[in-house]
Amino acid sequence: MTDVIELLERIGQDPQLREASRDGLERAVAAADLAPDLREAILSGDQAGLEALLQRLPTSGYLFPGKEDEEQSEEGDDEEVPLEEPADAPERVER
Protein backbone atom coordinates (compact mmCIF):
# COMPACT_ATOMS: atom_id res chain seq x y z
CA MET A 1 0.00 0.00 0.00
CA THR A 2 2.92 2.36 0.54
CA ASP A 3 3.52 2.40 -3.22
CA VAL A 4 0.05 3.74 -3.99
CA ILE A 5 0.23 6.34 -1.19
CA GLU A 6 3.67 7.49 -2.34
CA LEU A 7 2.46 7.74 -5.94
CA LEU A 8 -0.61 9.76 -4.95
CA GLU A 9 1.58 12.07 -2.86
CA ARG A 10 3.94 12.53 -5.82
CA ILE A 11 1.04 13.33 -8.14
CA GLY A 12 -0.32 15.83 -5.64
CA GLN A 13 3.02 17.54 -5.08
CA ASP A 14 4.37 17.58 -8.64
CA PRO A 15 2.47 19.99 -10.91
CA GLN A 16 4.02 18.45 -14.04
CA LEU A 17 2.86 14.99 -13.04
CA ARG A 18 -0.56 16.29 -12.00
CA GLU A 19 -1.01 17.89 -15.44
CA ALA A 20 0.76 15.08 -17.33
CA SER A 21 -0.70 13.43 -20.39
CA ARG A 22 -2.18 9.96 -20.06
CA ASP A 23 1.14 8.52 -21.31
CA GLY A 24 3.11 10.41 -18.66
CA LEU A 25 0.74 9.30 -15.93
CA GLU A 26 0.85 5.71 -17.20
CA ARG A 27 4.66 5.72 -16.93
CA ALA A 28 4.49 6.98 -13.34
CA VAL A 29 1.85 4.41 -12.41
CA ALA A 30 3.81 1.59 -14.08
CA ALA A 31 6.92 2.56 -12.14
CA ALA A 32 4.98 2.33 -8.88
CA ASP A 33 4.32 -1.40 -9.32
CA LEU A 34 0.64 -1.26 -8.37
CA ALA A 35 -2.08 -3.86 -8.62
CA PRO A 36 -4.03 -3.60 -11.89
CA ASP A 37 -7.26 -2.42 -10.23
CA LEU A 38 -5.40 0.39 -8.41
CA ARG A 39 -3.61 1.33 -11.61
CA GLU A 40 -6.87 1.57 -13.56
CA ALA A 41 -8.63 3.59 -10.85
CA ILE A 42 -5.80 6.15 -10.84
CA LEU A 43 -5.53 6.35 -14.62
CA SER A 44 -9.30 6.72 -15.08
CA GLY A 45 -9.59 9.33 -12.32
CA ASP A 46 -12.10 7.14 -10.46
CA GLN A 47 -11.86 8.69 -7.00
CA ALA A 48 -14.70 6.66 -5.46
CA GLY A 49 -13.26 3.42 -6.85
CA LEU A 50 -9.79 4.29 -5.60
CA GLU A 51 -11.12 5.09 -2.13
CA ALA A 52 -12.97 1.77 -2.03
CA LEU A 53 -9.84 -0.11 -3.08
CA LEU A 54 -7.70 1.68 -0.51
CA GLN A 55 -10.14 0.80 2.26
CA ARG A 56 -9.81 -2.90 1.44
CA LEU A 57 -6.01 -2.91 1.54
CA PRO A 58 -4.29 -4.12 4.71
CA THR A 59 -2.86 -1.27 6.73
CA SER A 60 -0.09 -0.91 9.23
CA GLY A 61 1.28 1.89 11.36
CA TYR A 62 2.96 3.64 8.44
CA LEU A 63 -0.23 5.54 7.61
CA PHE A 64 -0.20 7.31 10.94
CA PRO A 65 3.42 7.39 12.09
CA GLY A 66 3.90 8.26 15.72
CA LYS A 67 0.37 7.21 16.73
CA GLU A 68 1.71 4.39 18.89
CA ASP A 69 4.31 6.74 20.37
CA GLU A 70 1.57 9.21 21.36
CA GLU A 71 -0.45 6.48 23.05
CA GLN A 72 2.59 5.30 24.99
CA SER A 73 3.42 8.83 26.13
CA GLU A 74 -0.18 9.32 27.26
CA GLU A 75 0.14 6.24 29.43
CA GLY A 76 3.27 7.67 31.03
CA ASP A 77 1.65 11.06 31.75
CA ASP A 78 0.61 9.88 35.23
CA GLU A 79 4.25 9.84 36.27
CA GLU A 80 4.70 13.61 35.97
CA VAL A 81 5.55 15.30 39.23
CA PRO A 82 4.33 18.87 39.64
CA LEU A 83 7.03 21.43 40.38
CA GLU A 84 6.82 23.09 43.74
CA GLU A 85 7.74 26.71 44.21
CA PRO A 86 10.29 27.47 46.92
CA ALA A 87 8.82 28.68 50.19
CA ASP A 88 10.59 32.05 49.88
CA ALA A 89 9.27 32.72 46.35
CA PRO A 90 7.36 35.98 45.93
CA GLU A 91 3.60 35.72 45.70
CA ARG A 92 2.20 35.91 42.18
CA VAL A 93 -0.33 38.59 41.42
CA GLU A 94 -2.66 38.04 38.47
CA ARG A 95 -3.82 41.12 36.60
Amino acid occupying residue 47: Q
**51: pLDDT strictly greater than 80:** yes
CA distance 8 to 43: 11
What is the pLDDT averaged over residues 40-58?
88
pLDDT at position 46 is 92
Amino acid occupying residue 41: A
CA-based nearest residue to 54, from 64, 65, 42: 42
pLDDT at position 49 is 92
**32: pLDDT strictly greater than 80:** yes
The distance of Cα 17 from the centroid of its chain, to the nearest Å, equals 20
CB burial of residue 38 (10 Å; 0-12, 13-18, 19+): buried
